[in-house]
Chain A
Amino acid sequence: MFPKPLLAASFEPLVLALLGRGETYGYEIIQQIQKLSEGRISWTANRLYPLLHDLENRRLVASSWRHDESGPGRKYYRLTAKGEEALAHAKRDWLDLNALLAALWGPTPSLAT
C-alpha cells in the first residue's frame, strides 16, 4: 500500500488516466487499478463514484447508460475535451515532479558543486 497522502493526491490523475485509455465504468476502473498496481491501490465504490460525479459536475467527463439483461444498466464514463486538457495538465505536472525527484535522487553530483 502507498501512504494515504500519496493515494489522495494521485486519485484524480489516475482516474483521468484510466478514462484516457477509453470509455469505461466504475467497477471496471476499480478492477483495472487493482491489477495495474498489483494490488497496491484498491479504491472503494464509495469514494470512486463521488469523484466521478464531481468530474462530471466539472464537465471533465461525460456519462451514458448502457442496458443489458442483468439488473440496472451500467453507467459508462468518458473524457470530454476539457477532460483531455485536464489530463494533459496532470501529466505534465507529474512528469515534472518525477523529473525533479529523479534529479535529486539520481547519481549526478552536480548539486554538490
Chain B
Amino acid sequence: MFHLETAIATWRQVLTRRRAFLEEDLDELERHLRDHAADLVREGVEEEAAFRRAVTSLGDLEGGETEYGKVYWGKLQRRRAVFSELRWRFTMLKNYLTIAIRTLRKHRSYALINVTGLAVGFACSFFILLWVRSEYQYDRFLEEGDRIHMLRRNVRMEDRIYTWSGAAKPLAEVLDRDYPEIEHVALTRWPESVVVTSDDRSYRETGLYVGAAFFEVFAFPFIQGKPAEAFQAEDHVVISDRLARKLFGEDWQSGSNAVGRRITLDHRRDFTVTGVIKDVPGNTSMQADLFMHIADFYVGKDWVDQWGNNGFQLYASLREDAVLPAVNAKIAGIVNENEEGADEELFFQPFEDTYLYASFENGQLVGGRIEYVRILTMVAVFLLLIASINFMNLATARGGQRAREIGVRKAIGANQHSLIQQFLTESVLLTTVAFLLAVGLVYALLPLFNQVSGKAFSRAELGPGFLFGMFGIACVVGLLAGSYPALYLSSFNPLVVLRGTFRHRVGTARLRKGLVVLQFTLSVVLIIATIAIYRQLLFIRTHDIGLDRENVVYLAMEGALRTQYDAVKAELLGRPGIAGVSAASSQPLSIGSSTGGATWEGMDPDVQREFYFLGVDYDFLETMRMDVVAGRTFDPAFGADSLSVLVNEEAARLIGEGVLGATFRFWAVTGPIVGVVRDFEMNSLYQPVEPVVFFLNPAAANVIYVRTEAGRTRDAIASLEAVATTFNPEYPFEYRFMDQDFEETYRSEVVLGTLANIFSLIAIFISCLGLFGLISFTAQLRTKELGIRKVLGATVPNLVGLLTGEVTKLVLIGVAVAIPLAYLVVDRWLAQFESHIDISIGLFVLAGVAALLIAWLTVSYQSIKSALADPVRSLRYE
C-alpha cells in the first residue's frame, strides 16, 4: 500500500546522506515535490504515479548533487557557517584517523614493513638532499656573488684544447684598464702554508696572496678595517677573526684594535694588519685565514711581468649590466694580441659555478662535481620510488583481505568518495609516522653521516624550513603511493565482494609484477654502479702510479732547512728509520709548473707541447723509487750533471729517435738528455700523462722528501722532528705523508663510493622488505591451492619451485632492463678518469646473480614455510 508521507520521508533520507544538500535546500525541494505531486493528483493521476513522476521531473540525483555542490561554499559563506562546516570535516577526519589507527593495529606486520621501508627510504633521501643542498650552496654565500667571475683559458696545443685557470699579471692590468664592463680585477696565488709570529708565538696558517682589489671583488664582511683600504702597501695583511683570536686573544675586539698591529710572516719580515674579516665559511673554495698583498709576492720576481707566465688565478667582478657572453667575446683574444705565438681563447666562468662545473674537455664544459650531485640525486629518487612501490604493492595485495570490509561499508552507505578519503588518510598516517621516524633517524645518525661524507652538518641545519620541505616530499609520496590503492580498493563492487567470489583483477596483478620488476631494475642499476665505483676506487688505490708513495714523508723547505740543506740531509741520513732524503721543486704527483718554450735538437718546428718541469736533488728518483727505462739518473760522479736533464717516456715519445744525448733547452737550462724515466701520474688520474723534464737544482727545491724504512715510521718521524727543530727552532714542526695526500686527492671519489655503497645496500634492503611482504600475502592467498597440490602428490621442492619461480622471472626481467641503463651511467662516470677500469660482462653477471640470490633468500623462508604446511589444516579451513 503506497503511503505518500513515507515515500517522501524515504526520498528525503537518501538525499540527506548526500553532502551537497543543506537542510533548507531539502525543505525547498520537498515543497517543490509536494506541489508538483498535488497538481498531478488534481489532474487525475493516481497518488503513487504522481509521486514517481514528480521525483523523476526533479532531475537526476548525481547531476543535481554536482550542481548543488558548486554553490555550496558560497552558501556557507553567506550563512556564516564555514566554521561549523570545518568542524564537521574535522570530525570526519578524526573518524578516518580512528579507523586508520585501528586497521593498522590489526595488521601490525603490514604496518611495520611499510613504515620501516618508508622511514629508511625517507631518512636516506633526506641525508642525500642535505648533501646535495650543501653542494649547491658551495661558494654561494657572498653578496652579489653572481657578479664574480673566474678567468679561464682555452689553450690549443697540437689538436687538443686544454682549459686552464692560470693567468698572467699583464693580462690583469689590461682587463682592469681597458674594459669598462669589468669593475674590479684581483689576482690571487694559491693557498700556501705561512708561519705567523706574534708575541714570540708562531703558528702555521693558510695564507693567500691576493691583489689589492680582492676584497672589492669578494665582499667578505669586515669586522675592522675597510675593504677598499686593505692593501695600500706591500706589507699590509688582512686576517680572519679566528686568527685574530689566536694572535691577540679571544677578547681582541674589546681590547685594543687589531688594525695597526704588527705580525711577522715566515720569520722574514713584519707586516701590518689592516683589517679583520669574519671567518670564511666552510663551504667555499677561498679557504684562508691570512690574506697578503700580492705586491709582496712580486718583489724580486721579474717573471711576473711576462705574458706567458700564468702564475696566478684571476677573478673579476663584472658590472651589474654586463652581459657575460658579450664580455667573453670581447676578451677572448687578448693574449693572442699581446703574446707572440699564443693560441688561446679567454673566457670568464661565474665563480659560483666553478666548484660544481670545473671539468672541461676540448674547450667544452663537460661537468665536474655536478656528476656526483646528479648520481646521488638519482639515488635519492630511486630510494623514494622503491619505498613507494612497496607501499603500493602491499596495499593492493592486501585488498583481498579488506574486500569484505569495503563491501560492508559500501552496503551501509559509504560512497567511493569517502572510502578514497579513508584510504588516503591511512596512507598519509603511515607516511607521517614514517616521516617522524626518518627525522629521528636523521638526527641520530647525523654525526655518522658527517664522518662518511666529510661535511659538517649541524643539527641546527635541520631547521623548520628543511623539515617542512621534507614533510612536503613525504606527503607527496604518501598521497601518490596511496592514491592507486585507494582508487582500486574503493572501486570494489559490494555485491561481488559480499557474495564471497572476490577475485583480484588480472590487471592489478600485472601492475604489481611490473612494479616489482621496476624495483629490481632500480636495485640492480644501483648494485652495478656500486660495484663499478668500488672497483674504480680499488684501481686508484692499487694502480701503479710510477712511484712508490708509501713510506714517504715530506716537509716544507724553509729557514735553515733551505740554507743548510746539505748538512740537514747528511744529519738525517745518519738517523734511525730514515732510508733516503731528497728534495724537489714541487710534488711529483701534481706538478704545477710548466712551460711551452721547450726546444730540443732535431725538433719539428710544428710541434707545440707544454712541458712540465721538476727541479730535483740527486737521489730523487731513488728516493721516490721511480724507474729509469733508458740511460741513467743524475749522478754526482759526473761533474757536468748540473746541466743534464731527464725526461719521462711521454716526452721521449715526443722527441723521438735519438732522445738520449740530444740537447734540451728551456729557459736558462741547456743540457743533454741523459735518461728516460718511466711514466708516472704527474697530474691526476683525471688527466693524461704529459711530457715532464727533470733538471738538477737542489737550490730551487721547496720540498724535502724523506723515505722511511718500512715499519719504522715512528722512529723516522722522531728523527725528522729532532733534526728539524734543531735547525729551525722557530718554525712549528709539520710534516705530511705522501700516501695520505694521494688519498685526499681522490676523497670525493671515496666519499661517493662509500655513500653509494651504503645507499645501494639500503635500496636493496627496502626492495627485499617489499618482496618479503608480497610473497607472504601471495602464499597466504594460495594456501588452499598449495594444500590441494600437496594432497595430489606435489613434493616440497615442487612447491618451493612454484613460489620462487615467479619471483625469479620478475628479477631476471629487472636485471635485463637494468643492464643497459647501468652501462650508460657507469660508462659516463668512468669516462672522466684518464686511467680507469674496463666495464666487463663479469660485472653485470655478478650484479644479476647477487640480485637473484638476495631475492631467493628473501622469499625462501616464506615459500618453505608454506610448502611444509600440513595440507589437512589448510584444507579444513573454511
Residues on A lying within 8 angstroms of B by beta carbon are: 26-27, 44-47, 49-50, 53-54, 56-58, 70-75
B175-198 contact mask (Cβ, 8 Å, vs A): 1 or 0: 000000000000000000000000
Bound together, the chains give a CA A19 to CA B78 distance in angstroms of 21
Q: Could you tell me if B32 and A27 are in contact, using CB atoms closer than 8 angstroms? A: yes
Contact in complex: A57, B74 (CB < 8 Å): yes
Q: What is the distance, in angstroms, from A82's C-beta to the closest C-beta of chain B? A: 14
Q: Which residues of A contact B34 (CB under 8 A)?
A: 70-71
Whole-angstrom CA separation of A70 from B33 in the bound complex: 12
B36 contacts the other chain (CB 8 A)? yes
20 extra interface residue pairs, beta carbon distance < 8 Å, beyond A50-B68, A70-B34, A70-B38: A44-B59, A44-B64, A45-B58, A45-B64, A47-B59, A49-B25, A50-B71, A53-B71, A53-B74, A56-B75, A57-B71, A57-B74, A57-B77, A58-B74, A71-B34, A72-B28, A72-B30, A74-B31, A74-B35, A75-B27
Establish whether residues B78 and A73, one from each chain, have CB atoms under 8 Å apart when the complex forms: no
Q: Is B143 an interface residue (CB 8 A)?
A: no
Contact: A27 with B30, CB < 8 Å?
no
A54–B71 CB distance below 8 A: yes
| Neighbouring A residues of B35 by C-beta, 8 Å | 27, 74
Give the distance to chain A from B341, nearest Cβ to Cβ, in Å: 79
B31 touches A71 (CB 8 A): yes
Return the chain B residue nearest A71 by Cβ.
Answer: B34
Contacts of B63 in A (CB 8 A): 46-47
Specify which of A27, A47, A54 is in contact with B36 (CB 8 Å cutoff): A27
Q: Is B67 close to A, CB under 8 A?
A: yes
Partner of B27, one of A50, A56, A57, A72: A72
Q: Is B60 part of the binding interface, using a Cβ–Cβ cutoff of 8 Å?
A: yes
Interface of A is mostly: helix
B57 CB–A CB distance under 8 Å: yes
- For A26, A58, A71, the residue with the greatest tally of chain B CB atoms inside 10 Å of its CB is A71
Which chain B residues (177-225) contact chain A, with CB distance < 8 Å? none
A71 to B: closest C-beta gap in Å: 5
Bound together, the chains give a CA A45 to CA B57 distance in angstroms of 7
Q: How far is the CB of B712 from the nearest CB of chain A, in Å?
A: 92
User: Which residues on B sit within 8 Å (CB–CB) of A26?
Assistant: 28, 32
Contacts between the two chains (Cβ within 8 Å), count: 71
Bound complex: CA A71 to CA B26 (Å): 12
Contact code string B780-804 (vs A, CB < 8 Å = 1, else 0): 0000000000000000000000000
Chain A residues within 8 Å of B411, by CB: none
**Minimum Cβ distance to chain B for residue A58 (Å):** 8
What is the predominant secondary structure among interface residues of chain B facing chain A? helix
User: Please, how many angstroms separate the alpha-carbon atoms of A71 and B32 in the complex?
Assistant: 10
Encode contact with A along B20-46: 1 for CB under 8 Å, 0 otherwise. Answer: 000011011111101110100000000
B70 contacts A by Cβ under 8 Å? yes
Determine the distance from Cα of A45 to Cα of B56 in the docked complex, in whole angstroms: 10
B31 to chain A: which residues have CB within 8 Å? 27, 71-75
Most A CB within 10 A of own CB, among B32, B61, B64, B68: B32
Chain A residues with Cβ below 8 Å from B78 are 56-57
| Among candidates B25, B29, B67, residue contacting A47 with C-beta atoms closer than 8 Å | B67
Cα–Cα distance between A45 and B32 once the two chains are bound (Å): 8
Contact A45 B74 (CB under 8 A): no
Q: A72-B27, A75-B28 are in contact. Are A46 and B71 (CB under 8 A)?
A: no
Closest 10 CB pairs of A and B: A46-B59, A46-B64, A44-B59, A57-B74, A50-B67, A72-B27, A45-B58, A27-B35, A53-B71, A54-B71
- Inter-chain CA distance A45–B36, complex, in Å, is 11
Contact assessment for B30 and A71 in the assembled complex, using a CB-CB cutoff below 8 Å: yes
Q: Are B59 and A45 in contact (CB under 8 A)?
A: yes
| CB nearest to A53 among chain B residues | B71
Partner of A73, one of B27, B64, B71, B77: B27
Is B57 within 8 A of A49, CB to CB?
no
Chain B 266-303 per-residue mask, 1 if CB under 8 angstroms from chain A, else 0? 00000000000000000000000000000000000000
B76, chain A: closest CB distance, angstroms? 10
Cross-chain contact of B28 among A44, A47, A49, A57 (Cβ < 8 A): A49
Interface residues on B, range: 20 to 34
**CB within 8 A of B70: which of A54, A58, A74?**
A54
* Chain B residues in the interface with A (C-beta under 8 A): 24-25, 27-32, 34-36, 38, 57-61, 63-64, 67-68, 70-71, 74-75, 77-78
Decide: A46 near B74, CB < 8 A? Known: A70-B34, A71-B31: no
B57 to chain A, nearest CB (A): 6
Q: Which residues of B contact A46 (CB under 8 A)?
A: 58-61, 63-64, 67-68
Can you list 9 residue pairs at the A/B interface with Cβ under 8 Å?
A: A27-B35, A45-B32, A45-B59, A46-B59, A49-B29, A50-B68, A50-B70, A53-B74, A72-B31
For A72, list chain B residues within 8 Å (CB): 27-28, 30-31
- A69 CB to closest chain B CB (Å) equals 11
A57 to chain B, nearest CB (A): 4
Q: In the complex, which residues of chain B have a beta carbon less than 8 angstroms from the beta carbon of A74?
A: 31, 35
- CB neighbours of B27 from chain A (8 A): 72-73, 75
Chain B residues with CB under 8 Å of A54's CB are 70-71, 74
Taking CB atoms, residues of chain B closer than 8 Å to A58 are 74
Chain B nearest Cβ from A44, distance in angstroms: 3
- Give B36 Cβ to nearest chain A Cβ, in Å: 6
Q: Which residues of B contact A56 (CB under 8 A)?
A: 75, 78
Measured between C-beta atoms, what is the minimum distance from A42 to chain B in Å? 8
Bound Cα distance A56, B61 (Å) = 22
Q: With A and B bound together, what is the CA distance between A56 and B25 in angstroms? A: 13
- When distances are taken between beta carbons in the complex, the residues of chain B under 8 Å from A47 are 59, 63-64, 67
Tell me if B29 and A45 are in contact (CB < 8 A): yes
Per the bound structure, the CA–CA distance linking A44 and B74 in Å amounts to 21
Inside 8 A of B68's CB, which chain A residues have their CB?
46, 49-50, 53
In angstroms, how far is the closest chain A Cβ from the Cβ of B719? 93
Q: How far is the CA of A56 from the CA of B24 in the complex (A)?
A: 14
Q: Which residues of B contact A44 (CB under 8 A)?
A: 57-59, 64
Shortest CB-to-CB span from B849 to chain A, Å, is 65
Complex CA–CA separation, A35 to B637 (angstroms): 128
Q: How far is the CB of B19 from chain A (nearest CB, A)?
A: 14
Minimum Cβ distance to chain A for residue B522 (Å): 49
Chain B contacts for A70, CB-based, 8 A: 34, 38
Q: Which residues of A contact B59 (CB under 8 A)?
A: 44-47
Q: How far is the CA of A90 from the CA of B479 in the complex (A)?
A: 46
Q: Smallest CB–CB gap between B220 and chain A, Å?
A: 60
* Cβ of A17 to closest chain B Cβ, rounded Å: 21
In the assembled complex, how far is the CB of residue A8 from the closest CB belonging to chain B, in whole angstroms? 12
Write the nearest CB–CB distance from B34 to chain A, whole angstroms: 5
Q: Which residues of B contact A45 (CB under 8 A)?
A: 29, 32, 57-59, 64
- The complex places the Cα of A44 from the Cα of B24 at a distance, in Å, of 18
Contacts of B74 in A (CB 8 A): 53-54, 57-58
Residues of chain A contacted by B30 (CB below 8 angstroms): 71-72
Separation of A10 and B100 alpha carbons in the complex (Å): 49
Residues of B near A27 (CB, < 8 A) are 31-32, 35-36
Write the nearest CB–CB distance from B477 to chain A, whole angstroms.
38
In the complex the two chains form, what is the Cα distance from A50 to B65 in whole Å?
A: 9
B328 to chain A, nearest CB (A): 59
- What is the bound-complex CA distance between A46 and B32, given in angstroms? 11
CB-nearest residue of chain B to A72: B27
* Nearest CB on B from A76, distance (A): 11
Smallest Cβ distance from B65 to chain A, in angstroms? Answer: 8
A50 CA to B32 CA, complexed, in Å: 14
A67 to chain B, nearest CB (A): 10
Within the complex, the shortest CB–CB distance from A68 to chain B, in Å, comes to 10
CA distance A70 to B27 in the complex (A): 12
Q: How far is the CA of A26 from the CA of B36 in the complex (A)?
A: 11
Distance in Å: Cβ of A19 to nearest Cβ of chain B = 16
Q: Give chain A nearest CB distance to B819 CB in angstroms.
A: 57
Cα–Cα, bound, A74→B34 (Å) = 11
Q: Which residue of A lies closest to B28 (CB)?
A: A75
